[in-house]
Every structure is written in C-alpha cells, then in structure tokens.
A and B are shown apart, each in its own frame.
Chain A
Amino acid sequence: MTPPHDLEHEAPTRAVSLQAAPGSSHDHLDLDDRRRLLHLMLTTRAIEERGLLLYKQGKVPGSFYDGRGQEATAVGATYALGADDPVCPLIRDMGAHVVKGTSTAGILGQYLGRAGGVSGGREGNVHFGDWHRGVIPMVSMLPDMMVVATGMAMGFRMRGERRCALSFFGDGATSRGDWHEAMNWAAVQQLPVIFVLENNQLAYSTPLTQQFRVNPVERAAGYGMPAVTVDGNDVEAVFDATREARLRALDGGGPTLIEAVTMRMHGHGAHDDAAYVSPEVLAAWQEKDPIVRQAQRLSALGVDVDAVADEVKAEVADALAEALAMPVPDPATILDGLYCESEPQIVGRGDAPWSGHGDEAWGGADA
C-alpha cells in the first residue's frame, strides 16, 4: 500500500511565500464584524456537523460532503462581497451560502432531500444555490462555475453595473481547460471577477505534486492577472484579500486570483476515510483550526465566545426541527420545470453583513 502523503514536504515550490494579506484587516472590520465572522463560521460548521450526523443516521441519501477546516475561506471571502455581488460556491463552501443568508432549515432540508430544501430534492447535498440571494448553484464539473462567474462579470460590465462576481474552486480544478479559459478571458477583457483558489492540499486523494509543477498562483502572472496567497485558515486575512480584489474589480482594475492555503480535514466525502493522509499532517493542521483561532482572538478582546456558540447551537436546533418536519418531494412533479415557460427571473441580492458596505452599491438587482 502507498504510504500516506507527507503533504508539507511534497508541496511544489512557490515563489510567493505564505503570508497574511497586505494591510490590516482591523482597519476594515469592527468588533461586531469580527464577532459575526465567528458566528458565521460556527454556523457553517454546525450545519455540516449536523448534516454528517444525519448521514450517519441514514437520513441523508447518497453521500455527504463537507468543508471542515476550510470555513474561514468561504466565510471570509464571501463576507467581503456586496449584496449585488453573486458567488459561485463549490462543495467546501457552505460558508458562502450562510453569509449570503440562505436559511439553515433550507440547507438541512437540502441534505435530507426534502421538498422544503433549497432545491426541493432535485439536487443532492451541496449542489444547490439560493440564487434569489445571489448564490449560483454549482455543477460537479470543474471549474465550470469559474466560467459562469466570468460571464456574470461580463454582463455587469455591459450593463454598466458596479458589481463583481466571485467563484471558488480547488487546487485540482486548476488542471482543467476551463480554468485556463476563464483566467485568460477574464484577464483579456479585464472583467470584475474574483477567483478564489482553495488550496486544500488534495483533490480527492491526489496531492498537489501530482496536480501541477508550478503553483497556480504563480501562473496568474502569465495571464496578466494580479494574484495573492493568503492563509486560508485566517478568516480576517481572507476577508481582507477579497476586499482588496473587490475594490480593484469595481474600479475597473480587472480580475484577481486569491490562493487561500488550507487543509481538507475530512475525506473527500463521508464514504472516504482519507487513509492516504498521514495523521501527523492532520494533527498539525488541527492546531491551525480557523474557528479556534478566531475565538481566541475575540476572547482576548473580551468577547464572550461561548455566548456566540450558544446562539448558533440554538439556531441550528430550531432549523433542524423545521427541516425534519418538511415533507418529501412529490414524484408526480418530476417533469415540471424542465423548460422555463415565463419571463425569466434573474439572480437576486443576498445578505451583505460587512459594516464597511456604505453607499457604494450600484443600486441592486431589485432596483
């Protein structure tokens, strides 16, 4: 049997050293923001922990996928977005749904395949998006949504709307042709789009060394696109890098690639025990847990982090009761909605909880 990957020592060389994002996030985050970031990460983790439990109880069909250990990346990046900035999450990005305001009951109902889940049982586990709130439902082919985000950005440009789009994807997705097409297209047309590469060290079982020779963040220069590497387990650093990328996008400076370095702490799915990862590597990353880190920061500032955790616990418990009471979908409806039969609705506005959003918004999809 192949020995487990020693990921730390096998990582391809990188010219960009791992560092916190430039600038101090404290300039842009007040204490309520920082507390809210903890709340959002705790909610994300609580939803996924509950989902995994439901899966183990046999209540979730198919398999189960989570982003444990990566909460800071999805939450931090999405937190920088405005209400009119749509996001394309992937399977480790439950935090993006949470920040945009997707209901927790709707997410749990989604896991359960219930009629009241976000996709009404049509889509499995994390393949959904509450587009009324600016979350675009992902597809499994990688990184297709990067191209779709590029197209949304192109639409904003053509419509004269001061907005940007953001797409997440993983290290494995950088090997496919759509990654190149999106990077090149966005750079050529200088579109307001942010690409967030979640480097979680693994694509299913494949380590970085078998994925690429040159780190993708270094490839960005070849496309003529600025790129930055941030600590993906530091929610404030991810926020700040995204905030800067967003300002660049809104001001006509074009796309940015952000590499958030993190670790997938669970298997690819609940069916995968990830025996190919050495326990020492996981233990080292456990020490960098993003939620623990943010809680420690806030404790030092006198915030009652236990109170935040209690709030989340109560919210998720209520949502679970609601989700479990949802009916299963009606098989008689399977043919409905194959085609759109009326004037199409367009992507709507999501929550934008960051205190720093002033009057910069273009006016809103509903305006």
Chain B
Amino acid sequence: MRPGAAPMPELTYIEAINEALREEMRRDDRVFLMGEDIGAYGGAFKATQGLIDEFGAERVRDTPIAEAAIIGTAVGSAIVGMRPVCEMQFADFVSCGFDQIVNVAGKLHWRSGLAAPITVRLPAGGGVSGGPFHSQNPEAWFMHAPGLKVVAPSTPADAKGLLLAAIRDPNPVIFIEHKALYRRARGEVPAGDYETPLRARVVREGSDLTVIAYGAMVHTALEATQDLDASVEVVDLRCLAPLDTETVLASVRKCSKVLVVDEANEVGAAGAYVAAVIAERAFDDLDGPVRRVAAAQIPIPFAPQLEAATLPDAGRIREACLDLLEY
C-alpha cells in the first residue's frame, strides 16, 4: 500500500468480481453481460447481483439455455464493436459451447486478422459437493486450443484486476473463477481502476522448494507449507495461457525442487504442461524429480468423503513436499 493511502476495503472474491463488472460497465458502454439467470436473479452465484438495476436488461441479458449461442453471439457482437462478458452458469456447462470457443473465437484472429474480444466467465472447481457436472476444472481444454487466453485468479484483488484486464484484452479470454473462493476468500481490493498483468506472482518467497499452483490450490498450498521446517516458495500462475514460463523457471532455478499442484484431473492438466516445461528447460537446475499433486482421473464425486479422497488437499501437498525435501 502507498504510504499515507487510505486503507483498502476488504471484499470477498465474488464482491470483487461484481465490482469489476460494475466499474467496467460504467467506464465502457460497449461492455455488456450475457448468461442464464444473471438479470433479476443476479446469477446462480450472485456475481451479477444488482447490475440489472443500474444497467438495465439490454446490458445485463438473460438468455435462453443455449451455451453455444451465448458464446457464438458474443463473438458476433464483438466483431461489430461490443465487449461481451458471458457467464456460464457452471464451468461444466461450457462443454456445450466448446465448439464456438475453440473453432470460432480461438482461431479467428490467426486465420483472418479479425479479433474476438470476448470474456467467458466460468465458475469452476470442487469442494462444494457439486458432483460430476458441477465441480469440474476445465482450464486445460482451453489451454490446448490456440488463440485463447486462460486466466484463473486466486484472490479478490486479482479477481478484480484480472477481470478488468480480461475484458479489455482484444482476445477471447476464458476466466476461471473458483466457486469455493467466492465467499471464503476475503481480502483487500484496491478501489477504482487497475489491471492485473496476465503474469504469475510469487506469493511467498522461499529457497528450498517451489510449489506452483493456481486458483483455490494457491490457498491450499500456502496452508500445507506454512509450518514446514523449510523455506517454501509458492507461485500463483494466475494466467495459464499464455503461460508465464519466465517466472516459473526463475523460481525453479532458485529452489531446485518443484511441486506442481492442480485441482483438475491429473491427465493432460495445466500442471502437466508446467511440469513438462520445467523438465525440458530446467532439468540441470533440479535436485529431484518434478512432482505433481492433482485430482484422481475420475469424475468428481458427490459425497464429501469421496470428493475429499479425490481432490488434492493440504495433507497430500505437505506429504509431497516432505518427500521432495528429502532429495
């Protein structure tokens, strides 16, 4: 904080998202919102609560249940000058709009020079007993598709700053919001206008071991390593595509040991790519194997006991860290 500045207001993660949307809609009349039940109801998670009162139903648009059309019409409106922000009611439902994101939006600029500045907000993640269709972390699907940016904030301040950056970005941005953070994550959020760069951030400096995470797993990683008898650096990726390899590799080279954490299913995950980059480009700097902790390769179960056995938690992260520190 700047010396002498007033203390920043504390907001929850979802309040920060709501604030970013509201401020950007005030600032830029091209920005509008689309999604299922986002108007009078305020969205399934209330991210858009109150916005219809200020901006009206033309700019806070309730849509039919039609994910392909939500994303495809967003592209259409964007190429004639609008800045749409789409909400998928749950990240899981984005599979119904996958084709429009991957084939229409993602490839458009490279193949034609026409940009598609759209933002698609995805309430993602488990830990809420959502079961197989309300708990997924689909970020890797979109990392694999060229032309998309994939952003995943872990704190309220980043949720606001990254969302403002996403809306202003001239490219299609997949914005991953972790549902479990919506009301649990609370923190200082700068008032007014700022953009958070689409780069990774070192959350806690350390020298013995790097733990790389994003989204809710940043908090789990911090918790898991706070009492370890070692100096553990925690890196929050924040932007998964394009990946900030510079920050990742710098941290790995400093600490020589690395654990990569995903809440997503382990196969072909964001962390799998991060691990591959490290193995390929920092092998000589490593004093141990690149280790990963991720969700088991199964649909995310409903019952709390089964879900807990599937998703990474502080215990598994701590155990993996202790193993690595032995090398």
Residues of A whose CB lies within 8 Å of any CB of B are 86, 119, 122-123, 127-129, 131, 136-137, 139-141, 144-145, 147-156, 158-159, 165, 177-178, 181-182, 184-185, 188, 337-347, 365
Nearest Cβ on chain A to B32's Cβ, whole angstroms:
7
Q: Name A185's contact: one of B59, B73, B75, B77 (CB within 8 Å).
A: B73
Chain A neighbourhood of B78, CB < 8 A: 151, 155, 344
Q: Is A181 touching B68 in the complex (CB atoms < 8 A)?
A: yes
Q: Name A148's contact: one of B66, B76, B111, B170 (CB within 8 Å).
A: B76
CA distance in complex: A339, B146 (Å): 9
Nearest Cβ on chain B to A72's Cβ, whole angstroms:
27
The 4 lowest CB-CB distance pairs between A and B, nearest first, are: A151-B76, A147-B72, A151-B73, A344-B115
Q: Is A154 touching B73 in the complex (CB atoms < 8 A)?
A: yes
Chain B neighbourhood of A144, CB < 8 A: 68, 72, 99-100, 103-104
Q: Is B68 touching A339 in the complex (CB atoms < 8 A)?
A: no
CA distance in complex: A14, B58 (Å): 38
Nearest Cβ on chain B to A12's Cβ, whole angstroms:
26
Pick out which of these stretches binds chain A: B79-87, B272-280, B294-302: B79-87
CA distance in complex: A131, B100 (Å): 18
In this complex, the member of A122, A141, A147 whose beta carbon has the largest number of chain B beta carbons within 10 angstroms is: A147
Q: Is A346 touching B81 in the complex (CB atoms < 8 A)?
A: yes
Q: Name B64's contact: one of A140, A165, A188 (CB within 8 Å).
A: A188
Chain A neighbourhood of B249, CB < 8 A: none
Interface membership of B314, Cβ < 8 A: no
Chain A neighbourhood of B327, CB < 8 A: none
Nearest Cβ on chain B to A60's Cβ, whole angstroms:
18
CB-nearest residue of chain A relative to B58? A158
Given A337-B110, A339-B171, A343-B170, decide whether A151 and B99 contact each other with a Cβ distance below 8 A. Answer: no
Q: Is B64 touching A184 in the complex (CB atoms < 8 A)?
A: yes
How many A-B residue pairs have C-beta atoms within 8 angstroms? Tell me. Answer: 141
Q: Name B79's contact: one of A136, A141, A158 (CB within 8 Å).
A: A136
Q: Is A185 touching B63 in the complex (CB atoms < 8 A)?
A: yes
Chain B neighbourhood of A159, CB < 8 A: 80-82
Q: Is B76 touching A129 in the complex (CB atoms < 8 A)?
A: no
Chain B neighbourhood of A155, CB < 8 A: 76-78, 80-82
Q: Is A338 touching B77 in the complex (CB atoms < 8 A)?
A: no
CA distance in complex: A145, B68 (Å): 11
Given A139-B104, A338-B109, A340-B171, decide whether A154 and B114 contact each other with a Cβ distance below 8 A. Answer: no
Chain A neighbourhood of B58, CB < 8 A: 158
Q: Is A148 touching B147 in the complex (CB atoms < 8 A)?
A: no
Interface membership of B149, Cβ < 8 A: yes
In this complex, the member of B81, B100, B112 whose beta carbon has the largest number of chain A beta carbons within 10 angstroms is: B112
Interface membership of B69, Cβ < 8 A: yes
Q: Is B76 touching A154 in the complex (CB atoms < 8 A)?
A: yes
Interface membership of B140, Cβ < 8 A: no
Please, could you name 9 A-B residue pairs with CB atoms under 8 Å apart, sorted by A?
Answer: A131-B79, A147-B76, A151-B73, A158-B82, A178-B68, A185-B64, A342-B170, A344-B170, A345-B115
Nearest Cβ on chain B to A195's Cβ, whole angstroms:
13
Q: Name B32's contact: one of A158, A178, A337 (CB within 8 Å).
A: A158
Q: Is A340 touching B170 in the complex (CB atoms < 8 A)?
A: yes
Interface membership of B74, Cβ < 8 A: yes
Q: Is B103 touching A123 in the complex (CB atoms < 8 A)?
A: no
Q: Is B76 touching A346 in the complex (CB atoms < 8 A)?
A: no
CB-nearest residue of chain B relative to A153? B76
Nearest Cβ on chain B to A268's Cβ, whole angstroms:
20
Interface membership of B192, Cβ < 8 A: no
Interface membership of B39, Cβ < 8 A: no
